[in-house]
Amino acid sequence: MSFRLLALVPALALALPAFAQSKLLVVLRNGEVRTFELAEVERIEFAGTSLTGGVDPARPVFRDPVGTWDWVDGQTLVLRADSQFALHRSDGTLISQGRWELLESATQRYRLVHARGGYIDTVALSADGWTLSGASNTGYRLEGRRRSDAATGWGGASEAQLAGTWDWADGRVLVLRTDRTFLAYSGSRQTDEGRWQVLDAAARRIQLTHRLAGTTDTLVLSADGRMLEGTNNRGARVRGQKR
């Protein structure tokens, strides 16, 4: 569970729930993530979100739909960081593909436009980023659950956490793709490419191998999935922040 906004307004004061533990993770509207000790918090007030269920501080929060989804009728939906998607049957057969786009950031609504058949799906991402739900333009109800790595549980590094656009060192931008390749840019110019892999999912350690620069970055993903930090094989510090 996460909060999209933390605002301390006396008129809407709420008592802290009994299930809360020692820390509170807060996701602000601008994407900033803050962690508070509950001893610091007098009260929690918010708009447009309700408290449901318990707090699992090890479970990551996702703010985009990029990743693999267990979809309706046993299907698998893969949303890629390059705004492409693919829909597969349970046996892996490709059913459909197309492009997805953000419709409204405040409500996290997205549109999936299928390349054939004229189908258009409109779905919303849940506050914690683990559920997509909505309907197709034919009125068919859609719902999916983000696929996690059962071997490592919520705390491990997952492909869905890593795939996306990262602000990198020296003003560069890295795009980590779901096929475990990446592209590096300086402005609009591509400067490098390579492959990434998860070295230790439970410890959230990953490795990026740059093809042109000849460097290898060994990095640790932060608990909230927003920061990668480490060193390359030449001893230089490397740091990236997810957009």
Q: Give how far Cα 163 sits from Cα of 6, 180, 202, 234, Å.
A: 27, 8, 17, 25
Contact yes or no for 215/136 (Cβ under 8 A): no
**Which domains, from first to last, does the chain contain?**
1-57 (no CATH), 67-146 (2.40.128), 159-242 (2.40.128.490)
CB contact set of 243 (below 8 Å; sequence gap of 6+): 31, 164, 165, 166, 167
Render each residue's pLDDT in the chain as its tens digit; 243 residues. Answer: 333 333 333 333 333 333 334 566 666 555 566 676 666 665 554 443 333 344 444 456 777 888 888 899 989 898 887 889 999 987 778 899 999 999 998 899 999 999 999 999 999 999 888 899 999 999 999 999 987 643 333 344 566 678 889 999 888 999 998 778 999 999 989 999 999 988 876 677 899 999 999 999 999 888 667 889 999 999 999 999 998
pTM over the 0.75 mark? no
Q: How far apart are CA 186 and CA 177, in angstroms?
A: 17
Q: How far apart are CA 131 and CA 208, in angstroms?
A: 29
Contact yes or no for 14/6 (Cβ under 8 A): no
Contact yes or no for 41/34 (Cβ under 8 A): no
Q: How far apart are CA 115 and CA 8, in angstroms?
A: 46
